[in-house]
Structure 1
């Protein structure tokens, strides 16, 4: 097996930063291994504290929310930011109720041979095989091989852990489960443990409400002889044993059938040999993982590939980032985490920590939730290029839930039709503003999530998806903003607000002539970017579906009145409507650069001045010694530099992310000192954002006009060190698939498969070629873009 598809270690693990993540899109575990124990930190995507929320219940009650909105907007139009802030705090700042957080369920503990690392243990190694979704531990004990294998089965919805040894004395195992909640209770009988729990905590809720869960741990040995005692299952002197774990919750369940489901899952799995369970697991997982791949560097690999992953990461020096296999490994790890973290049938999409949990974010002000001002969005950045569009379904389902709650929020908060969601959400679709207006009035958070559906349509050109899913959701968002925005009488521009640019602030001169710091404003640049995409999409969809002509005219009229992008006094792309002085020029968020690094509103090809302005923005942030240097920021720098064709700068950012902003298990993290963090906190978006950067460096696909020709740039940001490699099965906008090879830093060949009718223009190093394509066509191009 290629080391580009394996995390490999020769030392035991004791803590989360070294653990190996498993998941099946609903249930997850982080595997902590040593010769003396195997511990699985168990998580489940619906295991949330808190309770459903009534829209507007945390806000001050007002008779006419729209009248209050207009008054606040007029204050901001007149430049009275202090009064705009005061009114926003009074009418649009929620009080936290039972919002909740995703919590760790508990820990499955397997003590081996009494819990003491036995003498005579040699050759210890552990690994996570990305192409098999399998964690394995191997070592010799006094010359006898010992092996443990674990996987999280999607077909059978259970964790499977097998232990094998040919030592004459066999294995001694003690299996127990420790819950994290005060409501946890367990019992053991007939070779199995059963436990009941409830997701309770007091940081984000009142400690009395949360999802309930039921779990079963069953142990099977080679002789079927196991004991249950003192809350444990004990196996003595056996050559092999298998541990099964099932866990279910009552989230959105109307009866008690959810408890019985755990028992049924255990019984069905226990009927089968481990080999059959593993075969079913691989038959399900590998077709997804094998849809696409990349290689970087020589096909024969390098000496680095034989080093343990933690050593490779520690050797990953900023001066060269010469271990190309680490870039490829990071890319494939993100694809693995995507498949492990979300499936088409998952009840919820991935949250701040994907499907895993370090137990830190949920204990502080962040909450392990759905952050809607970059984090949740970034979780899905690599899904479509990785040929996994079916794994977008949980996001679609969640958006439908958010739309329902967002309609109530739009009426309660603003007196408007349509739907809106703000800075964060939970498993019940919370859509109100946040607890502080400085970040809580991110009024386009829900819309930003929904723009993923526009991208999904660009990639798939699926007309059924357009008519049944994408257009209805986006139309509702447009209806809200058409009613919510106010026209500036001086410029004629339609403006959003009160709003914020996540989560930044600016200075203005107050009435007393003193400098005031503010966050609340009208039409931050992110809002303008998202509304342009929204309105352009709605116009295209109405034409494509031959529907809603009157609505389309309203949208077109509003689109023409949106503010233009503006370039500030430093040559930077303005983050706000006015060229304010930044109060936090070191800030981690780069939301106003989304027009370049995600859709096609800004590009070097079509809007060079704006592209230069984004470049100036990036350089001004990069020049700051106090830059808030965290995982998603590095990914956003990398994405922007890749879109600008700045190969070495993009390479430096993704290298920094891998080498300095990821744990030894390569999960990305946020540094202490940022947004109240006191520790390195696992946040999964860096893994997904990093993969998106690597993909953008190798191939860029844009659709400047929705439904129009696709622009494909081959090797647009190829660093000098990435002189050879391959891409297999990468998906592009326009319903295209690409295979590509290069060597000596130059293109050797590119092969496009097309699954729809359309046309594209392919660009490569000053050359371009316009090519029409048809359903099930294949187009082969040579090193100079000649058609073969």
Structure 2
């Protein structure tokens, strides 16, 4: 079965276009009969500039004073001090911007078209459109080569008259200049906007669009390239920016990239592109079953999805592989930056809002990388890991200036300019574990790869400095003796203390998400220190601090408490579910080992779902799905991923946040739902911790027969799983590092030990079939 998104109707809006990319440059292709538009993006094309943190904002003395207020239950006084000392003003923060739009207008017969089909082939990473017009076939293919760092498009026809088209470039950027370069158009772009900066600072870029038109002519007319009667046309697009450049060499890169691409045939470029993409994409295959819906265009399948009760198993498989496709297209090992709020792409909407198209550190950026390790794309984690390293370095100044503490800290969001300070409103800006949350991906990368060099040279040093900050910043709550964070928030929620004079509050001591992240951090560093035989004294401090962290608590309604105290939620319909990461992204809560706490998460989810006014958006649906998968509830997990695909995605299956949420006037493209949804599908089939693996833990009845090959588990182990009629038939384990694991399937359990490169096959009752 070809894994593809396809449509028999033209793409007239951004949410119907097809995304392509190479980890640095990206485009959304909107194909119609008479024209095609490429909405073109580049990951470093940012407004704003690097700016220093404020001079000492209060430092240690101010933090101690604020903490004293909260220890004395003076929430009003504590917030006033926090606003004084921990609320910097917004400066030239910036945002990622769309670079330009490339317009292709075709001079074609006026006859009615037939057999129109546009497609995004996930295995080939090629967007295409084809149709019949006037008795002749027309076809367009567009891809972005990672090897050549260039967009390539071939437009062809079997018409004896050839084809004719006009190419032009437009941009919403105020400083954008198009120049004529023979049979090419050059353009200079300056990333300027005034919603997130002063409208005067930002990255500069230069690009070239060049056409080759064998058998035809190319003319320049009013700043446009006009092609007449060509046998076929090849369009090349190259673009680069001055981001992090120390000289002007970047200005000539586009010419060099064009020259290199034109030294190859189109077939060579396409073959090299596909081989490069498939070396990653083909690592995992999946089949969840299918029915007659699989033959329908993607938009028709999506429109029927809810009504059918999500009875389209192969659409779930397609969505899973689409998430992997978007990862490969959006974030490669050599990408200069990781995926942002909209991945690599940009519809221009979030850039205009208070949100910014940036790096949100309170779930969105993390979720972009949820499926990366488990779906065998570990190299694609590199841009995020490199970004975390930069964040940690920049966060040392914030730790010193705002908190008077060693180590490093970052908060609710960041940009490409090293922003790690609190946000400019304490009610949401004091997410004091935002940096740690994103840095937990260092832990995940090591757990999956078992790369000791990475552990010693990157993960341990960065995470140790994070722990140094929290050890210094936290304080003892004198009654309980607990070691607590604060002032801090549970993103981005608020509560009532029970005292009328306090009103609605956001800041407190030890919101649950802080404790979860810090506990995992300390445990990891203690184990890593032992493995590396290093920092014994520091690890001893962590061991002393661990039992002082507050326990996870169950509230009076049976829910997992979001805060240290059982406060009443002031927004029980809120979209964030940060505290549930103890279940869906950590082993601190599991049905097997902590059943009461697991049940409290189920109650939390039920309480949110019961709200008619629930903020129903893409990452919330994914979080519901992830939590239910961890609760072994496949039917509920399926329901939420199905809802995500059917009702929280555009026609092109890119996820969005509904209008009305967080000030959005329109539904805004936010890509984390795509990655979160892919992770849910993976977790339903395979769940792993450092010592345990569950097979088919949340298999829903609609996926009654199928297989998955190439899923990764912690411990550097790969699994192929087959099942029929709802039951496991055979599982194959491939070890890439020596280790041991306890494997579970329903009521069956087996303890396995293995050497590197060993392959083990087990039956449906986990009995050994072969070992090699």
TM tier, smaller: over 0.9
Alpha-carbon contact 2:76-2:502 (below 8 Å) kept: no
1:197 counterpart (174, 189, 194):
189
| C-alpha deviation, 1:227, in angstroms | 1.5
SS in 2 for 1:38: strand
| C-alpha deviation, 1:664, in angstroms | 0.6
Task: Name 1:607's counterpart in structure 2.
Answer: 594
Task: Name 1:672's counterpart in structure 2.
Answer: 659
Name segments (4+ residues, structure 1) moved above 2 Å.
none
Task: Name 2:121's counterpart in structure 1.
Answer: 129
1:225 is the counterpart of 2:214: no
Task: Name 2:208's counterpart in structure 1.
Answer: 216
1:524 counterpart (511, 514, 519):
511
Task: Name 1:753's counterpart in structure 2.
Answer: 734
CA displacement, residues 609-657 of structure 1 (integer Å, 9 cap, x when unaligned) = 1101111111111111111000000000000000001111111000000
Where in structure 2 are the equivalents of 1:574-585 lying within 5 Å? 574-585=561-572
Task: Name 1:785's counterpart in structure 2.
Answer: 766
1:237 counterpart (210, 215, 229):
229
Q: Distance in 2 between matches of 1:105 and 1:161?
A: 18
Task: Name 2:292's counterpart in structure 1.
Answer: 303
SS in 1 for 2:767: coil
Q: Distance in 2 between matches of 1:523 and 1:134?
A: 49
SS in 2 for 1:626: coil
CA displacement, residues 524-581 of structure 1 (integer Å, 9 cap, x when unaligned) = 0000000001000111111111111110111111111100011100011100010001
2:695 counterpart (683, 700, 714):
714
Q: Distance in 1 between matches of 2:522 and 2:307?
A: 42
1:71 is the counterpart of 2:65: yes
Task: Name 1:83's counterpart in structure 2.
Answer: 77
SS in 1 for 2:760: strand
Alpha-carbon contact 2:193-2:199 (below 8 Å) kept: yes
1:536 counterpart (498, 509, 523):
523
| C-alpha deviation, 1:120, in angstroms | 3.1
1:258 is the counterpart of 2:250: yes
| C-alpha deviation, 1:785, in angstroms | 1.0
Where in structure 2 are the equivalents of 1:384-783 lying within 5 Å? 384-510=373-499, 513-514=500-501, 516-703=503-690, 710-783=691-764
Where in structure 2 are the equivalents of 1:97-108 lying within 5 Å? 97-108=91-102
Task: Name 2:325's counterpart in structure 1.
Answer: 336
Q: Structure 1 unaligned runs (5+)?
A: 704-709
CA displacement, residues 293-342 of structure 1 (integer Å, 9 cap, x when unaligned) = 21101xxx432111100000001025521011110000000000000000
CA displacement, residues 703-749 of structure 1 (integer Å, 9 cap, x when unaligned) = 2xxxxxx2111111111111011010111111100001001000010
Task: Name 2:11's counterpart in structure 1.
Answer: 13
| C-alpha deviation, 1:224, in angstroms | 6.4
Alpha-carbon contact 1:141-1:167 (below 8 Å) kept: no
Q: Distance in 1 between matches of 2:275 and 2:684?
A: 32
Structure 1 residues 268-277 or 419-428, which shifts more?
268-277
Alpha-carbon contact 1:383-1:391 (below 8 Å) kept: yes
Alpha-carbon contact 1:588-1:630 (below 8 Å) kept: yes
| C-alpha deviation, 1:228, in angstroms | 2.2
Superposition CA RMSD, Å: 1.1
SS in 2 for 1:417: coil
SS in 2 for 1:237: strand
SS in 1 for 2:432: coil
| C-alpha deviation, 1:514, in angstroms | 3.6
1:315 is the counterpart of 2:326: no
Task: Name 2:274's counterpart in structure 1.
Answer: 282
Q: Distance in 2 between matches of 1:465 and 1:388?
A: 16
1:292 is the counterpart of 2:290: no
Task: Name 1:37's counterpart in structure 2.
Answer: 35
SS in 1 for 2:520: helix
TM-score normalized by structure 2?
A: 0.99
Q: Distance in 2 between matches of 1:348 and 1:530?
A: 24
- How many residue pairs match? The answer is 769
Q: Distance in 1 between matches of 2:741 and 2:189?
A: 55
SS in 2 for 1:392: helix
Alpha-carbon contact 2:436-2:466 (below 8 Å) kept: yes
| C-alpha deviation, 1:89, in angstroms | 0.9
Task: Name 1:169's counterpart in structure 2.
Answer: 161
